[in-house]
Structure 1
Amino acid sequence: MNGIRIAPFLLASMACAQTTFHFTEKPGPHAVGLKVVEQYDTSRTYRPATDELGKPLTGERSRPLQTLIWYPAQSTSEKAMTVGDYAQLAATETSFGKPDLSPDWKEWIDGIKPTLKDAMWARRDAPLTAGRFPVVIYAPSFSSMSWENADLCEYLASHGYVVIASPDMGTTTRDMSGDVAGVRTQARDISFLIGYAQTLPDTDMSEVAVAGFSWGGLSNLFAAARDSRIDALVALDGSMRYFPGLIKDSGEVHPEDMTLPLLFFTQGEISLEDSERNHSGPSQTGPNALNAWTHGDLITVHDLALTHTEHSSMFQRNEDIWKGYAQAQKGDYSREDGIIGYAWISRYTVNFLDAYLKHDATALAFLKKTPAENGAPPHLLRVDFRAAKGIPASLESFRAELGRLGFDHASEIYSSMKEEKPDFKLDESAMNDWAYHLMQSGHLPEATALIKLNIQNYPDSSSSYTTLGEIYARSGDKQLARENYNKALKKDPNSSEATEKLKELDAPAPVSK
């Protein structure tokens, strides 16, 4: 350069000024395939019965779900996807086979124009590789496209995961609504995709995780509250952090009762002023989901360099996003730091999934190490690992603990739940029915343990004494059976069931001929 030596810090500054997003992680052992499936959830109506002019609407009215599936594939010489190839999918998200790109989408794609020719890893319709792989459902951010984190999805597929995503859409419109109904709609999409994954030949449905960015990191919580097939959650600066009021208003989502492992990425530290500003409305007011997450392992990765938007690789590619970067920028971190930070998001995500879906001890050890021990730049990350403790106070957890420790520990398990949640009480009718079914199937000691606990909790329960009497009768102890039938009648003199059982007990045995 004509003998002029440019200072290293100036070179770095110039490089940052010209940087566009590029994924820096190396692929895993598998090639990556991509299938795009245009399907409908016929259990839900998406389009109204009439059009804008009030005329009957023709064609399919069910909910359209353009579904992207990234998967471990055989190597092929076919051309790899480009960023532009992904962008073209926006035109047919809801109009299958009929491209219809809205002005807003055209503007958005113009923002990523400098990277449209950049090669990705996936190859369309590449042959499947042999084997079955854990499933990851990816839930996009508010009203966003399914491929907003295509780099992460491809990366996971290269490491042996089948990753499935569909766009984030409102109940009856392409735009999501910022309310409980909207979250539930995306949660239902997640469950629909899990059901679809079950039809694929290369999925291991015993291991399922859901990863979501922003709004998708709230919807995956709603989905997990209702769908027992979900084994782990990943939230990329998830909105469970920003909209606790929606969790509270749902009435069905209880983070304090959840036992799933959760990997939660957060943008750089938020000031008290910003926190106050972000929690001023009813949807922002409610209990902190992360504080309540005590019964499942919680790994919190503080992305010190990243803004909220930088948790999406496609958003990092959009030059329009960077026009307002100065307002959201963390300290003097640069776009290059965002690229490095995204690589660490991917690395932590694959180790989390390997630890909890593939049960890899090395991956779990990675999560428990400090970022410096894992080779991360110390100024980019802070990681907290909080191991699960205790058990949630619920009938489901009570059953699981009985299976683990034995029914002779029923009273002890219940007492520990009461210590954690003093107002918790096992339902009398459910316990009585459970004990009765155990008795019917010959599990008399287990039935006895349950019904005695039920009597302890509901000492005036006539039906529980009747059930205990029948258990003793079946075990051949007529004296204890009679005592408990009489206790049932003392609690309820009109109990026809206890009266009949006493008659049966005292009836003479039939004479054999």
Structure 2
Amino acid sequence: MIASASIGMHTRSINIDVDSAESQARDISFLLGYAATLPQADGSHVAAIGYSFGGLANVLAAARDDRISALVSLDGSVRYFPAIVQQAAYATPERLALPMLYLGGKPYTAEMMNRFKQVPTYSLMNQMKFSDLYNVTMYTMTHAAFQSESLRLGPEPRFDEYSREEATLAHGWMGRYVLAFLNAYLRNDAAALAFMNNKPAANKVPTHLLVIDAHHAEGAPPTLATMAAQFAKHGHKDLAGIYRDMRQREAEFKPDERSLISWGEKFFDVNRYPEAIEIYQLSTSLYPDSARAMFYLAMTYDRHHDNALAIDAYQRVLGFWPDMVEAKQSIARLKTTAK
């Protein structure tokens, strides 16, 4: 295990803002790079575990760093500061399609949340429909009880109406759930996965100690990577149909134009023109005003000797770029070849 200190950008203490959260997220990514240099480290099975504000920073780190494959949040601030999460616009359900265990303390009443001005208008966890998410409420734990220092040295008032012994018992069960979760998702341990999906009573958890709200992923996230995987699975055919099916599940899904073009180039560069044509046809249908996408489609038709289609596509390119010499020369060459 490698740990990152909770420090601010410019001072020892942190500010409760997006800059501090992103600074901590960058620290996590730095440590992942360091871990990759250690001979005993397995970089393919990485979990980021965070307490309090660290339980917001690790979420942002996972949204930006694909090396993180599981998340554990110990009463993390991803719940308590939803506005910060929203400011980090890249922390989307699609980018966070990974298993997550959230262990939270005794919930506030609605009246207390109103009093402390913490009534949330947004919940990232409620949006994480492409993730296996285990939301565990530990009823005899306050926020401070999630750190072992408080259990050993903290004053009794930290535990509110509960005793140190009750909090310690819950802390032990918290550890069991963290271990089971990590074994389930990093080691593919079937028994550990069954433990996570059991009712607490089946795991012999003391009555009324905790409850679990489990949500399982609703399929793969609608991303370009998912679409590429489906395209390969279908023998690199019917990309338009694959995209149409994905849009039925997620109406807002629309791959970035440049990403589509770059994907098509990978096929174009190794002379796999039929696959590139399907990608550029989708690109031009999604971005009909893109001269760049049309030009790539024209070039691919040209290389594939689809002369009539290439001429038509080059002429469309000239509609965007009337003075483009390469398109004019290509049309002239193809018309000469056709005679």
**Fold match, TM over 0.5?**
yes
Q: Which residue of 2 aligns with 1:182?
A: 20
Counterpart AA for 1:351: A
Shift of 1:178: 1.6
Q: How does 1:311-390 map to 2 (within 5 A)?
A: 311-320=146-155, 322-326=156-160, 329=161, 333-390=162-219
Q: How does 1:254-269 map to 2 (within 5 A)?
A: 254-255=92-93, 257-269=95-107
Q: Which residue of 1 aligns with 2:124?
A: 289
Shift of 1:199: 1.7
How has the CA–CA distance of structure 1 residues 285 and 259 changed in structure 2, closer, same or farther, with 3 Å as cutoff?
same
Shift of 1:357: 1.0
The CA distance in 2 between the partners of 1:405 and 1:209, in whole Å, is 32
The CA distance in 2 between the partners of 1:185 and 1:492, in whole Å, is 44
Q: Which residue of 2 aligns with 1:3?
A: none
1:449 aligns with 2:272: no
**Aligned pair partner of 2:66 in 220, 225, 228:** 228
**Aligned pair partner of 2:257 in 422, 428, 431:** 428
Shift of 1:306: 1.4
Secondary structure of 1:165's match? coil
Contact 1:391/1:417 (<8 A) preserved: no
For the aligned residues, what is the CA RMSD?
A: 2.5
Shift of 1:405: 5.0
Q: Which residue of 2 aligns with 1:474?
A: 303
Q: Which residue of 1 aligns with 2:115?
A: 277
The CA distance in 2 between the partners of 1:197 and 1:452, in whole Å, is 43
Counterpart AA for 2:124: A
Contact 2:94/2:222 (<8 A) preserved: no
Counterpart AA for 1:206: S
Q: Which residue of 2 aligns with 1:54?
A: none
**Aligned pair partner of 1:237 in 57, 65, 75:** 75
Q: Which residue of 1 aligns with 2:237?
A: 408
Secondary structure of 1:201's match? coil
Counterpart AA for 1:270: Y
Shift of 1:410: 2.6
How has the CA–CA distance of structure 1 residues 184 and 432 changed in structure 2, closer, same or farther, with 3 Å as cutoff?
closer
Percent sequence identity is 37
Secondary structure of 1:264's match? strand
Shift of 1:351: 1.2
The CA distance in 1 between the partners of 2:234 and 2:196, in whole Å, is 29
Q: Which is worse superposed, 485-494 or 474-483?
A: 485-494
The CA distance in 2 between the partners of 1:180 and 1:491, in whole Å, is 41
Gaps of 5+ in 2: none
More strand, by proportion: 1
Contact 1:257/1:295 (<8 A) preserved: no
Q: Deviations over 1:191-229 (max 9, x none)?
A: 121111112121111111100111110110111121111
Shift of 1:286: 4.8
The CA distance in 2 between the partners of 1:465 and 1:218, in whole Å, is 42
1:195 aligns with 2:29: no
The CA distance in 2 between the partners of 1:306 and 1:324, in whole Å, is 9
Contact 1:392/1:417 (<8 A) preserved: no
Q: Which is worse superposed, 346-355 or 391-400?
A: 391-400
Shift of 1:460: 4.2
Contact 1:303/1:382 (<8 A) preserved: yes
Aligned residue pairs total 338
**TM-score normalized with structure 2 length:** 0.89
Secondary structure of 2:80's match? coil
Q: Which residue of 1 aligns with 2:313?
A: 484
Q: Which residue of 2 aligns with 1:135?
A: none
The CA distance in 1 between the partners of 2:79 and 2:322, in whole Å, is 55
Contact 2:63/2:95 (<8 A) preserved: no
How has the CA–CA distance of structure 1 residues 438 and 419 changed in structure 2, closer, same or farther, with 3 Å as cutoff?
same
- The runs of at least 4 aligned residues of structure 1 exceeding 6 Å deviation read none
The CA distance in 1 between the partners of 2:223 and 2:78, in whole Å, is 22
The CA distance in 1 between the partners of 2:325 and 2:292, in whole Å, is 11
Counterpart AA for 2:186: L
Q: Deviations over 1:161-191 (max 9, x none)?
A: xx11132111222222222121122112211
Q: Which residue of 1 aligns with 2:5?
A: 167
Contact 1:241/1:288 (<8 A) preserved: yes
How has the CA–CA distance of structure 1 residues 406 and 175 changed in structure 2, closer, same or farther, with 3 Å as cutoff?
farther
Contact 1:256/1:295 (<8 A) preserved: yes
The CA distance in 2 between the partners of 1:277 and 1:416, in whole Å, is 46
The CA distance in 1 between the partners of 2:73 and 2:137, in whole Å, is 12
How has the CA–CA distance of structure 1 residues 337 and 416 changed in structure 2, closer, same or farther, with 3 Å as cutoff?
farther
Q: Deviations over 1:207-253 (max 9, x none)?
A: 11100111110110111121111111000111100000111123332
How has the CA–CA distance of structure 1 residues 497 and 460 changed in structure 2, closer, same or farther, with 3 Å as cutoff?
farther
How has the CA–CA distance of structure 1 residues 272 and 304 changed in structure 2, closer, same or farther, with 3 Å as cutoff?
same
More helix, by proportion: 2
The CA distance in 1 between the partners of 2:110 and 2:238, in whole Å, is 46
Q: Which residue of 1 aligns with 2:328?
A: 499
